[in-house]
Amino acid sequence: MIKLLSSTAVVAMLAAPVVAQTATTTAPEATTTAPAAATTGTSDMGFNYTVEAGDKSAETFIGKRLYVSEVEVDMNADMTEVDQDWDDVGEISDLVIGEDGMVKAVLTDFGGFLGMGEKTVAVSMDDLAVIRDGDSQNDYFIVLQSDRASLENAPEFKWPEM
């Protein structure tokens, strides 16, 4: 239940800037000493984020398959199918977001059968390669340069009791 609530909170938090997106305009130079927010609306409040190339929605990130590759992965490659050297090890189940709003870790579930016996491991976002799917502009593969044994030996992630 905590995982569901956490996932929902993460999705809501990450989706809020997109929903609240407003068009910004450059205000003419004013001769008064009024603060910039008064002339441009919400620019100082953080409601003016514009999606940039490479931005991913938490909603589409969670549930993606995670692949491991023992060889270095070309971050600029466009793949049309899973590379034969990649091993499908699990699924991204959640994101850990710090108070500063940055993704601290990606939680991956692997092993087990039909949800039984799965192990959750925290992987650093910096260690993941997001490879564009050449067949679809909005789809991608997530690859960790590692091996299955390293994930199996990694400590299990557990949220602290609240």
Helix (H) or strand (E) holding 19: helix 2-19
* pLDDT tens sequence across 144-159: 988 888 888 899 999 8
Top-level CATH class of 53-162?
mainly beta
Tell me the pairing of strands 140-145 and 87-97: unpaired
- Give the model's confidence band at 17: pLDDT under 50 very low, under 70 low, under 90 confident, else very high: very low
**What average pLDDT does range 32-58 have in this prediction?**
62
Output the six-digit token pair for 139: 């789809």
Residues constituting the chain: 162
What are the boundaries of each domain within the chain?
1-51, 53-162
* pLDDT tens sequence across 120-146: 999 998 899 888 877 776 788 888 988
Where are any strands of DSSP class E within 2-81? 65-69, 78-79
Q: Return d(Cα 142, Cα 90) in angstroms, integer.
A: 11
Q: Return d(Cα 114, Cα 111) in angstroms, integer.
A: 9
